[in-house]
Structure formats: C-alpha cells, structure tokens
A and B are shown apart, each in its own frame.
Chain A
Amino acid sequence: DTAVSQTPKYLVTQMGNDKSIKCEQNLGHDTMYWYKQDSKKFLKIMFSYNNKELIINETVPNRFSPKSPDKAHLNLHINSLELGDSAVYFCASSPVTSGTSGSMYEQYFGPGTRLTVT
C-alpha cells in the first residue's frame, strides 16, 4: 500500500541516452511534483502538475519533459543525458487544502530514483 512509488530505484546510463522515470501515487491527490536532489543534498523543484495541468516549470533544460497521463501518474523523460544530470530525483504529491491565507498543504515524497550518468 505504498503511497508514492517511483521506478526504477536506481538508473545507471551513459551520456547521450534517453531515459524515463515513472511515478505513481495512490493517495487521490490532485498535485504532483518532481524534485532534483544534488550531491550536496540540495533539493530543488523542477515541475508540478495539478490535475494533469502543468503549473510549475522551473528553469530546467528542455531535455527534461514531464508527462502526466492522469492525475495519479507523473513521469519524467530525460533526453540526451549529461553527466550533470546525475542526482536523486524525487516525485511527490499533495492534497490542496484552501485555508484563509491561501494554499496549505504538505507533500508526500516517493523513495527517490538515483540516476547516475557515466
């Protein structure tokens, strides 16, 4: 009964290849995210989808393309992989609770996918 799952857990590939990471959540949440955590553990948001619509697109190379076939899935496709893409990629999801001061929510993270580009 995993809440947010990602596959694969580890991904080792060569420069120039294209790869995909899949994410699924069974929490019934409307919003999903992709984060990148670098070797210094710094976490940065890449994309966010709300009910299959892109709502956050940070300054990410266009080699990265998210795809949300339905609100329970958010996949990340990466073209022409580079050494600097090596990192841990986390998927997350959240409910959206409207409070008196705007959106209040917590995020539920998947276990991460460690991508190593050689």
Chain B
Amino acid sequence: SQQGEEDPQALSIQEGENATMNCSYKTSINNLQWYRQNSGRGLVHLILIRSNEREKHSGRLRVTLDTSKKSSSLLITASRAADTASYFCATVRGSNYKLTFGKGTLLTVNP
C-alpha cells in the first residue's frame, strides 16, 4: 500500500525562488529518501535521511524529518529552470529493501 503522500501535487514558481515540498507517511520508518524524475526519464536519488536524523543538506537541497509528525520536507533554494521535474519521497521500513513511494510533486520553475 502507498506509504508516502506528497503535497502539493503541483507547484509552479519563478526562477530564483525557493520551493518547498512536503511528504507525510503512515508508519514508522528506517529512513526516508527523496528522488527527482525528469519528464520521460528514470528517477535520480537526491538525498537520504535516517530516522534518527532531523535535518540534512546537499548543495541547494535541505531535507527535514519529523518522526513524531511522520512528515518530511524538501526545500530547494534559488531554484533554476533545470529543477523542473517531479519529486518523490520514498520510505524504507525496518531492515527490508523495499522503497515505498508517494505520488510525487510536479515542480515547474519558470525562467
């Protein structure tokens, strides 16, 4: 069954603005990951945050995790047109190998 739920479903911003996407999940997790999918392409891993971590940074990306609220957010700062893509959160439960994906947020960055 679906674990993650992203919101908003779609987000349109101007270049240079920040974009924030949220992900909520239902059960306890081992870690949470964010992926990007450009149109017609495969998914690309962006960042992994473990259940005992609260915040992680990678370049212009900042991810937070609140396990008490079962939610995570992905912030992209100073967005670029090339950031236009769908963004998915995915959770891992326990010690299994399975990623359970949310429905994704379609981000459009207008030049």
**A residues adjacent to B (C-beta < 8 A):** 4, 31, 33, 40-45, 48, 50, 55-56, 90, 92, 94, 96, 99, 101-112
Contacts and interface: CB of A to CB of B under 8 A. Distances in A.
A102 B42 contact: no
A94 B101 contact: no
B103 A40 contact: yes
Contact of A90 (B42, B52, B98): B42
Which bracket fits the contact residues of B?
Answer: 20 to 34
A104 B48 contact: yes
Interface in B16-52: 30-31, 33, 35, 37, 40-45, 48, 50-52
6 A-B pairs with the lowest CB-CB distances in the bound complex, closest first: A102-B95, A109-B42, A106-B45, A43-B101, A109-B43, A111-B42
Interface string B82-98: 00001010001011111
